[in-house]
Amino acid sequence: MPSPKNTVKRLPPAREAALEALHRCLGSGVDIQGALDRAISSRSNMDPRDVGLATELCYGYLRLKGRLEYILSRYLKDPSKLPPKMRLAMGVAAYELLHLERIPAYSTVNWAVDFAKTKPKARLTGLFNAVLRRVSELGDEVNDLDWYREGATDIEHLSRYYACPEWIIELWHNGYGEETTRHYLEAQVQAPAIGLNLYRHPDADVLYNELAANPNIIDIDGMSFALKAGTQLPDAAPPMARQSFAARQAVEMLSPKQWPTPIWDACAGRGGKSRVLKEMGIDDIFASDVHMGRLSALHRELPKVPAFAARADLEPPIKGAGTILLDLPCSGLGVLSRRPDTKWRRTRHEVAELEQLQARILNNAVDALKPGGVIAIITCTLNPDENEHQLDRLLKAHDRIKKGPTWTTPADSPLNEFFWGAVVKV
């Protein structure tokens, strides 16, 4: 048996699960929610409080990863020399020290130093202890934009503070201007609003009144609610359906009651957009998606909506739809608050490939419509090449279509998510 002094303590469950999920996400390209679900499910009977803390650590760290790395670089000669898992652990601990005030600093430093001991030959325990104690002594200066300015260009400065890759900041600045870019940068380091939909919930009437009276309410539309992040929600069985309020807005602002039917939700996912249409009294809908798992979820939620597997970028399996609703695959730069791993995993090259995929889907949709039909386009990205410029290219390629209304979530929206939408009439 090893002597007690050589025994390495196991990490507290929340930190262990968070580090596992983050390493899989950033190291292997798995989306953070899938990685976190796997990490939690592999630990039987994990306390709900630990699940909550692991979730906060994963999403909070990813929203502020770039800022935290800059802070640590002030106390490390060469952060790149740290093993990746050790660098990740130090960053998560720094997030905990600076942003989770309810956790004592000594507790955070202790678990991080214990983790450093798992690489005894690297002799990192002293380094972890010294650096994290320095971080714990930082005051309000870390929340000051000017603290991140030293030796940086304007774009580097914003990248450090807002924890956003420079290429995304440049894209937004070139496409939308300085003021709007600041709004987008502020939004993506915040948690998104909680979106709930009560459509078809057995206790909708009771829950509606309770949610409407909540002091953290941001907006109400039909059976949908937007509440501030962190709001304590009422218990409900079955649970209330989560749905982005900003995504709902994008559908409604394109006037779907005026769309000719039948409506083909051709990139349906789990059926969020079809749910909005059904709630508005539009019943002549059918749906398709390439992922069978998403179609299964759609069938469970909306059993009366016919659904089938199909790729929207290939030869349309059917023709003659009155409206084709396209929630286009996109870079997701409008929902970084909800999917913060996107900004660290997405590349310029991938965005260019997505633009080509979008073009194929749009051209196929034009061919699949009946005369007088409509294409309703929605994305959850902030990128003119995937939105406005993509629409312009479509209009130039087909002289028998014309542009209808377009819409973008306002830059100062309190929802912290942004969608773009447009209608094309054949």
Domain check: are 310 and 226 in the same one? no
Q: Tens digit of pLDDT for each residue in 110-135?
A: 999 999 999 887 789 999 999 999 99
Residue 168 lies in a domain: no
Q: State the pLDDT at residue 320.
A: 84
Domain check: are 234 and 250 in the same one? no
Domain limits at 259? 244-425
Domain check: are 332 and 248 in the same one? yes
Q: Tens digit of pLDDT for each residue in 44-74?
A: 889 999 999 999 999 999 999 999 999 999 9
Q: State the pLDDT at residue 287.
A: 95
Q: State the pLDDT at residue 370.
A: 84
| Spatial distance between the Cα atoms of 157 and 147, rounded to a whole number of angstroms | 9
What is the per-residue DSSP string for 16-29?
HHHHHHHHHHHHH-
Domain check: are 41 and 147 in the same one? yes
Domain check: are 298 and 282 in the same one? yes
Domain check: are 229 and 295 in the same one? no
Domain check: are 274 and 406 in the same one? yes
Q: State the pLDDT at residue 1.
A: 44
Domain check: are 295 and 335 in the same one? yes
Domain check: are 417 and 286 in the same one? yes
Q: What's 159's domain CATH number?
A: 1.10.940.10
Residue 203 lies in a domain: yes
Residue 180 lies in a domain: no
| Spatial distance between the Cα atoms of 213 and 155, rounded to a whole number of angstroms | 43
Q: State the pLDDT at residue 242.
A: 94
Of 40, 35, 14, the C-alpha closest to 24 is 35
Q: What is the model's pTM?
A: 0.94
| Spatial distance between the Cα atoms of 104 and 26, rounded to a whole number of angstroms | 28
Residue type, 1: M
Of 322, 319, 318, 320, the C-alpha closest to 308 is 318
Domain check: are 202 and 257 in the same one? no
Q: What's 375's domain CATH number?
A: 3.40.50.150
Domain check: are 107 and 226 in the same one? no
In 106-154 the beta strands, taken as DSSP E runs, fall at none
What is the per-residue DSSP string for 275-321?
HHHHHTT---EEEEES-HHHHHHHHHH-TTS-EEE--TTSS-S---E
Where the chain has pLDDT below 50, the residues are 1-4
Q: How many domains does the chain have?
A: 3
